[in-house]
Amino acid sequence: MYNILITGAGGQLGHALNQLLGSQDAFNPVALSHTRLDITDADSLMDCLDTHRIHLVLNTAAYTSVDLAETSPDRAWLVNAEGPRQVAIACRKKQIPLIHFSTDYVYHNALRRPLLETDPCNPRNVYGASKLAGEQKTLYHHPHTLVIRTSWLYGREGHNFFNTIKRLSSEKPVLEVVNDQIGAPTYVPDMAAATLTILSKVLSEAGNPSWYGIFNFANEGEASWFDFASGIVSGSSNTCSVQPVSTSVFPRPAARPSYSVFNLNKIKSTFQLSIRDWKTALMDCMGNS
């Protein structure tokens, strides 16, 4: 049985990974929230890896308060950059693979076609810049690191766009949602299932260099936040009207990417993944919510 450390287990992705791995006979998830494991503490990390005899680390820990990061940059950089650096160093010392999760916010470039892993990164807020630094540090300090960039994570549990729209649409007759930010919603159970496939391959042949590097993952297709909200409301019993507006109507402290749709060819071909369209995944979520 493989012992898998899940950092940041209090978040929606960490929680989903813990549930999924816990249902598999081959895995024993060691799921620790930030209150139980501080990834910026090198000694605590090494003690954890030794105590639980960890075979692979899933680092989902992150500072994700995008707007608050603009006024609390030290905290964002500590958790999103220094933390992953310490995790990578610890994993390298123990000679175990690391899967680190990142974000579409690292891109924020002017390209308007599905983004490749090799495309330029030009983050325009503290959150994106700190996450990009985290990617770079993990890859620099540990050759057996796999970085998964994802976007617009949502699911039935936790604080996310899906649950916010469900709540607001039951309370208000009209919702205004931006239609000039384009990306792809990612259903957390689909992200967790893909991660299970990936980590299984990595553990079976940890020395294979093709497993490591940067990979994009989201559900197939593209949508604006307006499209996503419309799909959520139309799949519910609410009669709320969803109206499209521009980003300028809702100024935020942190700039958002205007386009962050991924090219998924690399992760699909490397790990033989079949990825669902975001609309299909959303219907699945609505049917089980």
Nearest CA-CA partner of 6 in 31, 27, 28: 31
By three-state DSSP, how is residue 131 classified?
Answer: helix
Nearest CA-CA partner of 4 in 212, 158, 202, 216: 202
| In contact, 244 and 179? CB cutoff 8 Å | yes
| In contact, 145 and 209? CB cutoff 8 Å | no
Helix residue spans in the chain (DSSP H): 12-22, 42-51, 68-71, 73-77, 83-94, 126-141, 161-171, 188-204, 225-234, 265-271, 278-287
In angstroms, rounded to a whole number, what is the distance separating the alpha carbons of residues 36 and 288?
Answer: 31
Catalytic residue of the set 63, 127, 212, 259 = 127
The two three-digit tokens of residue 98, written as one number: 């690391």
| In contact, 175 and 229? CB cutoff 8 Å | yes
In angstroms, rounded to a whole number, what is the distance separating the alpha carbons of residues 106 and 57?
Answer: 22
* Distance (Å) of CA 179 to CA 64, 96, 131, 206, 222: 22, 43, 25, 43, 12
Name the DSSP class of 5. Answer: E
Whether residue 127 lies in the annotated active site: yes
Positions marked catalytic: 127
